[in-house]
Structures are given as C-alpha cells and as structure tokens.
Amino acid sequence: MTASLPTQTKRFPFPMPFGWFKVALSHDLAPDTLLTRHYFGTELVVWRDAAGRAVCHEAYCAHLGAHLGVGGRVEGDRIRCPFHGWAYDTTGANVDIPYADKPNTKARLRTFPTVERGGIVLAWYHPREVAPLWEPMEIPEYDDPEYGDYEVFEYTIGSCMQEIGENGFDHAHFEFVHSHPQVGQIEKVEFDGYDRVVLSAQQFPSSKGPVDGRIDVFGRGPGFAITRYQGLIDASLVGCSTPIDEETTLVAFLFTLRNAQDERTQRIARAFVDSVSREIGQDIPIWEHKRYVATPALAPSEKPILDYRRWYAQFYAE
C-alpha cells in the first residue's frame, strides 16, 4: 500500500501579521467624517475627534451590533450609533445611552492605536491587542517644500503580505518578469530588529545613454517602506501594505517628486511612475496564482529571500 502525500490546502500558511498599517490618507479624514474600511479581517470606522486626532475602532456597536459607519455620526469627541443612539468616546468606552441614566461600563469598542505620519493615517493591529512595539518611520519628504504632493496608486491583490514583500529580495525576477537588462549592484541588505535596509547602485536608461543613480529602500515593520530614487530624478515612493484578510492585501504607492515644478523633471517622472505601475501590473497575476513554498530550491544568489523570511516571521503572533 502506497502512503499518500499530504496536500497543501491553503496557498499560504500565515496568519495576518501585526504592525502599523495604513487605514486612510490624512486629507480624506475631514472633521465630522466617519470613514468605513475593511482591514484586519473586520469592518472598521476611522474618524477625528474635536482636537483633530485620528481614531480607529472596530465598526460594530457593542450594544446590538449595528455598523457605526452606516448612518452613525461624529459628535465632537464621540461617535453615535444609528440604531439606538449609544455613544462611544475615543477610547471605545460607552459614554451615553439616551434612554438610560448612566452609560454601560461593560460596553466597549475594540480600539486600534492610531498615529499620522507624512499625511498617512496608520493604525496598530495585533491579534492579541498588544500595545505598539515600535514607532512608525517619519517621512521627511512630506514636509520638505522641494517635494511635491503625493500621486497615489492603490491595488487590491489576492495574496498575503509576506509573499508580496518578498519580491524586493527576489532580484532575479526583475530580468524575467520586467525585462530589466541588468540588476543593479546590491551594496547592502540588512535586517536589524524591526527595520530593513536595501542599498543599491543602479544605471537608468536615458536619451543620452545610461545615467548612474541609486535605489535605496528603508522599511520598518511588515507594512511600511520608503524607496528613494536618485539619478535622472530625485523621487520617493512610500509603500504601504495593509492586510484585508489572510490572503488579500491592499498595496498603496505614494510617489513624491523633488523639484516637481520643472517641466523636464515632470516628463521623466511621468515615465518613471508609468514604469513602476506597469511592473506591479506584471507582478499581480503571478502573486495571485502562486503559492508559498516553505523549503524552496534556491540558487546561491537567492539567500536574501531566506533572510527576509526569517526577519518577517517575527511579525506573526501565532
């Protein structure tokens, strides 16, 4: 009798990672606005209190489960449920029941720690509700008058966050998927605690021949990285990945360009942005149809993939 081989029923054996994740852009979160989002496998509401601070809760009322983002409203430092009028403060505590003398001290909304960095609202997710373990990175380009406004691109991708992020350490695929003539010179790949750094010297094609440049990546946590380009143009790409569920990810690319008013720079930047957008379009069908191989047969040059996987494992609570 021949023993049957075990089958892999799931494409990815991972839960959702914990960390800071983009839940909104700051300019979308106007006062008195109650945004609805679906991340971390649940419905969320995002709003601002009277002092302008961003707040993020699970969306379902602790009373009888109504969705606070469907008919609910912001009232200064609280939000009110559309079903029975129960109100909750920024900590998620019930502070008012219109038809009772006092609030219900047991009624609470799950509340996610929230900060803003460089025009991005980030919420801290941890399945065990552990407090934040690190501070999100700053984005100095956002306040630099030499850099322009973000150009934002978002993609909903049927793959888990770890698989998408692994692309940055799979240097061989750039030739075969994106037709790059050659991969740049990788000077440094470093994983240090919650941070990761990849520094590389590159050559960019131009009408006057190759131009020396750089692509340097600085990331912290599983869902946030800044890629800085130098050469034909100086540009930064803020990359944010947010888990929708265990096998679906929202990827947001926020481009900002130095000297954005210069016509030549704008023309080069347009070609650059189009190129990056085209390449992620080439990656998406591969991500959405591949599955995780736990013990891959790798070429000697592909060791950074295993280094990345070991680093990423720290962001799983289970």
pLDDT band at 180 (very low <50, low <70, confident <90, very high): low
Q: Average pLDDT, stretch 24-41?
A: 96
* 5: pLDDT strictly greater than 50: no
Taking the C-alpha atoms of residue 16 and residue 285, their distance in angstroms, rounded to an integer, is 21
Give the per-residue pLDDT at 109.
98
pLDDT in the model for residue 8? 53
Residue 97 predicted with pLDDT over 70: yes
Residue 178 has pLDDT above 80, yes or no: no
Instruction: Kindly tell me if the per-residue pLDDT of 51 is higher than 50.
Output: yes
pLDDT given for residue 263 in this prediction: 82
Side-chain-facing half-sphere of 69: CA atoms under 13 Å? 16
pLDDT digits (tens, 9 = 90+) for 125-135: 999 999 999 99
Domains assigned to the chain: 19-125 (2.102.10.10), 140-315 (3.90.380.10)
pLDDT digits (tens, 9 = 90+) for 245-303: 999 999 999 999 988 777 877 887 888 788 888 888 999 999 999 999 999 999 888 89
* 134-163 tens-digit pLDDT: 999 999 999 999 999 999 999 999 999 999
Share of the chain above pLDDT 90, in %: 74
Average pLDDT in the chain:
91
